[in-house]
Homo-oligomer: A and B are copies of this chain.
Amino acid sequence: MSNFLGSHAINMDAKGRLAIPAKVREELAQACGGRIVLTANADEERCLLLYPEPEWEILRPKIEALPNMNKAARRLQRLILGNAAPMELDGAGRILVPPTLRSYAHLEKKLMLIGQGKKLELWSEERWLAWLDESTDDDDMPPEMEALSL
């Protein structure tokens, strides 16, 4: 099982192509043979999520099975399923980000790719830096988090 760590600055070209860093590429190659799913993030941060296909196939049925007479569940389904784009790395190790996802996450030229264990996050560099500067809410932590000792 893959375990993505660290952050990488990368550039997207005019066609919306972006080169996955070589180290990440290696991990993706063995996790999923380069077959990935790119989708929108559901919370208020407008970034994208990049899953190796096997990991996505664990998550997808859980989301599809949510009771969709509920408003919050419908929202999650529309965002995650409704933006999911399966794709493969091209010969040069690049992916093409679909226009709808590009505009959802406000991606321009300069991006950040952030390792998050089983998945990666893709941010516009500007938004990533702004997010880093945001103040943290310490209230409303789940109990598992309060018990941590870093």
Q: Which residues of A contact B (CB under 8 A)?
A: 5-9, 41-44, 49, 59, 62-67, 69-86, 98-100, 104, 112, 114-119, 121, 131-132, 136-142, 144-145, 148, 150
Contact = CB atoms under 8 A, between A and B. Distances in A.
Contacts of A77: 116-117
Contact of A98 (B6, B104, B136): B6
- What 5 pairs between A and B have smallest CB-CB spacing? A82-B114, A5-B84, A64-B117, A7-B100, A72-B141
**Most chain B beta-carbon contacts within 10 A, residue among A78, A81, A117, A150:** A150
A71 B131 CA distance: 12
Contact of A82 (B6, B67, B137, B141): B6
